[in-house]
Structure 1
Amino acid sequence: MKFTPFASLVLSPFRWLRKIRGFRLVYTPLLAIVLFTAVMGIILGTLHLQEKNQQEAALFRELSFAKQRIQSRFLNNLEALTTINRELAASEDQVKLRQIAREQAEDIVVNNHEIVRIIWLDAQHRRQWIAPAESEKTDWVSKSQNNQLIHANLLSAIELSRVTSRAAFSQFIFLDLPTDEPISAERKIVFWQVVPNIVGGEIIGYLAALYTTQGILDVIPGELKSHYRFTLLTDNEKVLAISSDKGIPKRAFSNQTSLDIGVLSPNINLRIDTYPPPTNLTFRMLIGVVMGLCVFVIWSLWSVLKQMQVRQEAEASLRTETSFRKAMENSTPVGIRAHDMQKRITYVNRAFCEMTGWTADELMGLTPPFPFWPDSRRDELVEKMNRALRADISGSMKVGIEGVIVKRDGTLIQTRTFIAPLINEKGKQTGWVTSLIDISEPKKIREELAASQERFTTVLESLDAAVSVVSLETNALLFANRFYRERFGDDSKGHFQLAGNDASNTTMRDIAEDLEDSPPGIPTHFLYQESESEEVQLSDGSNQWFEVRRRFIPWVDGHLAQLLIATDITTRKEADELAQQQQERMQFTSRLTTMGEMASSLAHELNQPLSAISNYCMGVAKRLDGNLDPTLTKEILPALEKASEQAHRAGTIIQRIRGFVKRSEPQRKASCISEIINDAVGLVEIEAHRHRLSITSQIAENLPVVNLDPVLILQVVVNLLKNALDSVREAYPLSSRWSAPAVKISADLETSIFPAMLRIQVTDAGGGIPENVLEHMFEPFFSTKSDGMGMGLNICRSIIESHHGRLWATNVTDSEQTKLAGCTFTILLPLESPESKDNV
């Protein structure tokens, strides 16, 4: 139903009135509850406040009365003591009057519980008499533990009275009394009142009365003490006396005032506390009735409010559900129609009318065959409908029927129809309800998807790369093309071999588990992010290389999966490796060629001056032979011969180096290893002596002749000796090199292996070789020296391996195994060459 703006404006007041009425119905009981509770609270609070004020007023009156009684008693006692002083002053010569004054003092002690003793003292503080008379049983004042304390306070009070010429009080005295005396508690705290006897302006004596604080409370009537508790306190709230030990309630009323018992009296405060009043049954019953009525009224109003709320909630829920059902029926794209037991259409929704092009009034009451069925398929559709209705008579199972309807404009629509029985509130079937779904577009899409899937599968199957998809949850293989199946089979092992190690797989599973716990949907930052290409070598020993790309994709079931595309690059890797090896060989050959040219040039240039030096030395020796003094001949000729010999030796070394550089393959011949080691030591000794170092040789006896290239082996030994000398030279400063251990070279047979081999070891006492250098020291062009080329050890190992031997280095540690103490290079050479074995 639609309204114009004017109609909406007219209906607005009615809506506001309906809202106000609903507000009044809901909140009136609640407002009544609040008002009733507030009024009753005010009444009860007023009564309680009034009762409290009355109790406080009565407490103040009783406290004032008690204070007045105590003050009156102290005033009467002062007057009585003053009267006794006058009689004592007039009876100095009359013994009878003095006896009467003493009797009056005893009467005061007997009739006043607060006074326990009266003493008469003369002007020199000498005691004249005591009332009542002292006895052994009751003489607690003069006891040793209290006598000094009481006497000291009495003297201080007398001094105060003498100075002021007035009645004076002492401080409070806390006594230590025996517990076996029945009145010890009443006399525990006492104080003195001293009244001076003044005659003619001079003090002729003092009358002292000993008060107990507990006795002061006896002045208060017993009726008051039965209703209230009285307490005497000092200024610092210290208790002096208390009328009763009975406890008082926590909320008892209290009041306090100061007792002004004299000008020179100590400050004493009197406090009054209320006891629980007697139960006022009538008042409490009235309060209980009122509270009960209040609770009943509140409960009644609350029940009415809850019932109204339940009713309004039910009405609101009914309206909401009705509106929801209406909106759902109008908004759903599913066409719905209802039939009675005679198959007449009894209801259609808006979607069904839009689907067929017929109005609801035109469709109501129609029976099969319906006008929205195609003429060519009416009999078929009637039979399908009857069969479906018969199947559903005994149950409520829905049956889907795929069919077709024709719109009023002649357009055909592919549909799927579901039929279910209509059951009323009594459980009786009253008809059927059918729902139609337009499947024209989904059917077309499915056909297109099937064709697209076929084309896509054809493309993937023809690729020369392995394509696989694996679930991150179950690690199951979801898809694999032909290339993958031919090389890795039908499981996911090949996928994980290409994807990476176990840590990568664990990370993938963790990602899947996190996504399961997260809200629905896969985060977009996980999807379609292609990783960089990675080259992976299979670990199955096939030496195959693949270029792998990975990305996360959502699979058809909504879960996260991993897509992997692997291209076989084994041929390319082999070509790259071969090209790299050839490049390294070219560089190596180029450097060797350069080194050979430099060595040949150096040998050619040095041979001529060395030959000239040798010839000149020999010529001089011949000229001097027989022409000099025999003594000079013995000194000069040997030196010239040695110079000529060393020049010849230098030429021989240069020739050997030149021959070594020119040779490309070992020229084996039977050689004695001791001669090779001696030649190497001779070549290196000159440099060793120049750096103040030495070399020692340990060659085993009876070593066999070995078939090898002496020049190449000589070069290896020379290189190792020079490296050993450099290590010792770096470890020891110049000043201490004469004490440095010598470089050792040894040769013997290694018999711990079979067959036995010739072993040569070069050991130094330098700083050793770090572990990171040991791994790369035999690689080409690797050197730790700033001016080194990095070819020495590589050439040495190549020479030894060309002789089918081995060369390695090990560090030597000190005796405490704490630091490096040198290095040992070991050479193992076979005693027989492979060529000689083949000849045998």
Structure 2
Amino acid sequence: MHMLLRAGLKHSRRWLWALPFLLSLLFVGAVLSWAVFDEAREQEAQRQVMIADALSAADALRSQLARERSALQSVAQQLAQPPTQPPTQASGRTAPLEAPAHLADRADVEAGLQGIWTGLVWLDTEHRVRQEVFAPSRRAEGFALHLEQALPHDPPGGRLVLRYSPTLLLKQATPWWLARRYDVQLIDGDEQVLAALTHTPRPERNDLRPHYRVPLDEAAPGTQLELVLREPTASGLKPLVGVLIAGFVPLSAVASGLLRRQVRRALEAEARWRAEAGWRAAVEDSTLVGLRARDAQGKLLSVNRTFCELVGWPAEDLVGRAPPMPYWPPDALPEVQSRSDRNLAGKAPREGYEACWRHRSGRDIDVLVFESPLVDAQGQQVGWLGTILDITERKRLAENEARRAEREAHAARLTMLGEVASTLAHELNQPLTAIASYNAGLVNSLERLGVTDAVVRGALQRQADQAAQAGRVVHRIRQFLTRHEPQIEPCLLAPVLASALHLMDKDLQKKQVQLETAFDSNLPTVRADAVLIEQVVINLVRNAADALASQPEPRCIRLQAHSAGRFVRVEVDDNGPGLAGRTPDTLFAPFYSTKPEGMGMGLAICRSIVEAHHGVLSAEPSPWGGLRFSFSLPRADDGPDSSLFGG
């Protein structure tokens, strides 16, 4: 175990060399995060300034176009008012109207052509050019934008179309400081550049310079003003990355050297550890006893393969577990916990102790545990080492041997009892014969004397019947104990049961027990020895009556018989205490009795008689709440079967 502790310490020191490197990475990450955040903040501020500049430039263009539209409206108003000539001096009358003056002769048109106008066209109502005028120096220029102004329908009618240069518009409306800072462009709806104040008409696809667009709306429908920053703020990340790389080259070289030396040492230590761990695992797993290591608080530190196979749990589910353990029986946790605390306190028996554990499959296992101190490399006790032996099979063999010896003793006692019973049967045969003879002589004497008292004669007759019954019982028991086969013959079961109840009638009345019977009206004939079956019924009814002696009234016994396939089943139910925690096998065991004066042979003999008839005698809880004894007898109408009765 101290090897494991030492390996754990080495494993924790293995990564100490990486701590400075990790701190350096953390510092670099913090600096880069700050740089990225600061750059993002500057770019956002730059974008806000660009948006403000774009909006300001768009307002300037709209104002310029508004002035140009106002000038065009002024020309249209003047053209809509035909000129008149003053009256002549001779006649004093007004001269007739003259045609409007040519557009080129108008001072406001000439002023516009010197500005951003490139031409002015007067179209009549049928879209024919009535007059037109162009700035000669701008006639062949590229893109031009238009402004239109309608004239009244009354003469002269039509509309004016003003063509102007977007490039001149940009030059006149864009402030000089804005043109130095941005590339200014006008773009139509098809992404074509109409005019630009830049050396680069449009930013290329890979141009990442910041830009912003503002639509001119009604001033120039479909036209947008775009500002592209000429000189974006230089990013501070690249210089920072360069500085970091240059600074970390020596650090990486030193770290690589330290890492190489550390890896070499780690590989050597790992090779030694693997060899030692392999040897230790081979020794632990090859042993036939279970090993477990626990710390001072009882937590499992290590287990070997034999221990895992013993309890049925894998090592990964056990190592690190603290009490209560999964292999402790759930129904005895307080007792096992108390014993574990005693062992952890150093009070475990040196000769070991037996314990009952629970396998993962649910079966119980008996183990013998030896506890010894677990000492580390410094000589300090860090826990306890347990050696566990599986003694389940050993205890099973010992129990089987004890049961075999007990069975032999029971057999010896039964043999002795059989001899005693045989002797008693032989000795009782003569007194019973004498009683029958005296009873017959007494009846004959009363007849000669002329005594006709019915009570006396009835008593003498019942006495004769009881003596004869006792003789038959003694004879059958003697034959049974001397290994003679029972006299199996077809017989009616109902008279046998009635005869047994008749003999028990006085005893049941004395004990205030109510007896109920329920026989099928068509009970088939059975193959049985009537005397022995009668004794079985008497014994079962007497046992039920004895069990009811301590019960409050009503005390009830029910005897019923019914067909069950090839057999006839007889059941004796009572409302007594039932099994009272005992098992049926315990009740049928020889020499076991619940009565102080009982010999414990009644039910054992009854089972032997029923099994001699190839039936089954069983005990189970009764629907009445007490105990039910039941046995089965073969039917006689199936025909004699020598295989059933010994032949």
| TM-score normalised over the length of structure 1 | 0.35
Flag the structure with more relative contact order, 1 or 2, with Cα contacts below 8 A and sequence separation at least 6.
2
| TM-score normalised over the length of structure 2 | 0.44
Kindly name which structure, 1 or 2, has the bigger radius of gyration based on alpha carbons.
Answer: 1
